């Protein structure tokens, strides 16, 4: 009886070792896929409609570019608005053109304590930046920096755009009804 029991135990031990050997050779790997969805940001871009520029005026305010109704933004997730324009007023059947430049010219300080006049030329294709905020909205007005020499920087927000036409260019234009359009291109971007 003892011999029989010992034989059974030996066989059982051998069988369990084989099982261990099989386990070592048939390893399976499982993985878990993690997913997350970043919500889409939406906003409303508000641009100047159309402005009648008074003949002879060298600086004409044309309103502002603003962003409202911003949703699903964050600090570091901004909107850049490129300002594109031909740089000249043209008229049908008139050979002359009237060159102009777009300026960002009226500002309010970042702490909203004061307004001031300054000029930053916005070249064709240059961007205005509207910063995303940690409360998931986005700044209504474009950000700008003014440097006083190399010592200090004044942070401000753009309050108005301006069309600048040199006096001499008015003088070189033949009579006619001139028009020009400005195209604004907005894009959601993330800071690097």
Q: Which residues bind another protein (CB under 8 A)?
A: 40-51, 63, 68, 72, 79, 181-188
Helix (H, G, I), strand (E, B) or coil at 55: coil
DSSP H or E stretch at residue 73: none
CB of 140 to another protein, least distance (A): 13
| Whether the Cβ atoms of residue 48 and residue 12 lie closer than 8 Å to each other | no
In this complex, which beta carbon is closest to another protein, that of residue 86 or of residue 109?
Answer: 86
In this complex, which beta carbon is closest to another protein, that of residue 143 or of residue 146?
Answer: 143
Q: What is the DSSP letter of 68?
A: E
Q: Which residues pair with 187 in a beta bridge?
A: 80
CB of 35 to another protein, least distance (A): 14
CB of 156 to another protein, least distance (A): 21
Among residues 74, 79, 61, which one has the least CA distance to residue 160?
61
Q: What is the DSSP letter of 75?
A: T
CB of 64 to another protein, least distance (A): 8
CB of 176 to another protein, least distance (A): 16
In this complex, which beta carbon is closest to another protein, that of residue 165 or of residue 188?
Answer: 188
For 103, residues 6+ apart whose C-beta sits below 8 A from its C-beta are 59, 119, 120, 121, 122, 161, 162, 163, 164
In this complex, which beta carbon is closest to another protein, that of residue 59 or of residue 172?
Answer: 59
In this complex, which beta carbon is closest to another protein, that of residue 27 or of residue 40?
Answer: 40
Cα separation, 132 vs 144, in Å, equals 15
């Amino acid at each position: 009886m003892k011999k029989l029991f010992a034989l059974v135990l030996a066989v059982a031990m051998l069988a369990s070792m084989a099982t261990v050997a099989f386990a070592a050779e048939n390893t399976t790997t499982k993985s878990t896929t993690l997913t997350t969805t970043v919500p889409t940001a939406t906003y409303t871009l508000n641009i100047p409609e159309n402005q009648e520029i008074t003949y002879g005026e060298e600086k004409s305010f044309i309103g502002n570019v603003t962003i409202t109704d911003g949703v699903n933004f964050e600090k570091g997730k901004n909107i850049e608005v490129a300002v594109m324009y031909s740089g000249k007023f043209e008229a049908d059947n008139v050979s002359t053109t009237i060159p102009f430049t777009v300026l960002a010219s009226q500002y309010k300080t970042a702490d909203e304590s004061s307004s001031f006049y300054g000029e930053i030329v916005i070249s064709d294709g240059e961007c205005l930046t509207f910063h995303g905020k940690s409360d998931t909205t986005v700044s209504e007005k474009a950000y700008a920096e003014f440097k006083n020499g190399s010592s200090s920087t004044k942070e401000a927000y753009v309050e108005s755009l301006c069309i600048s036409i040199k006096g001499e260019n008015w003088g070189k234009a033949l009579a006619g009804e001139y028009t020009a359009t400005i195209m604004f291109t907005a894009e959601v971007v993330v800071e690097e």
